[in-house]
Amino acid sequence: MATGRRKIAVIGAGNVGATCAFVLAEMKIADVVMLDIFEGFAKGKALDMSQNGNILNYDGGITGTSDYSDIADCDVIVVTSGFPRKPGMTREDLIGKNADIVSQVGAGIRDNAPNAVVIMVTNPLDLMTYHMQKVTGFPANRVIGQAGILDSARMAHFIAMELNCAEEDVSPMVLGGHGDTMVPLPRYTTVGGIPITQLISEEKIAAISARTASGGGEIVKLLERGSAFYAPGSAAAIMAEAVLNDRRRLIPASCHLTGQYGLEDVYIGVPCILGANGVERIFELDLSDEELESLQGSANFYKSQLSEILGY
């Protein structure tokens, strides 16, 4: 459907991609193109979502395709393509398979939407974001990894459960890689403006932080046949909206570091301003020695895999 409106592409019409597309449709901010290697899969879900517009009162085009030429002129592209985790697998177990997929997707984006901002969801997130930036050759500020919003949301949920308070009053902050090495920051996490260190015992905070780090794995184990998709898809949609509408939101995301936090040439989760140009600014928080060591350890874990497995 040609509407003359702005356009967002979601590459990968699986559970995460379809959730992202659905949330974007409800936001009423742009036409949505879902692209998948299986054209009928993308078109079927797009048609289903389009028919839902009358029920949930949203308009605009939602189209499915397998043709990369259809993502031309997209302002933002969300990439969810890849194999999901299965029980017993780490995100890192997916490196080889998903790197091949990202190579193909990146080439399609580079050749058809050279001005887009790319938001990565494919796991292992930080590695695949780095790989996408290399494949496309885009400026690093226009290739961003979605992880911090998701990991922070998981932490926020566990805090709200502990305090029996409203989820919307929790403002969490989780940095580092999207995996077991992530770095929850209780000192920078508040409820109604009050640091959780004043509301929750140190022992319970440690338990919440540990559960946050393994939050995705917990869902994989429960599902048995897949991985999380509601929260990851919604988090990607929130990031896409921030870019499209130049919201300049301060969020944690996987960004390319060039010396910040003592780290060079690696993607890792840090606080940033997200706007029309992608990452507008990266903030360096005043971290304790222990927090900084954890963040650097998380980054160096992924940096070693960049050279050992992906050859960078």
- For the question of residue 178 being annotated catalytic, the response is yes
- Single out the catalytic residue among 131, 157, 178, 256: 178
Peptide bond into 195 cis (omega under 30): no
Tell me the catalytic residues. Answer: 178
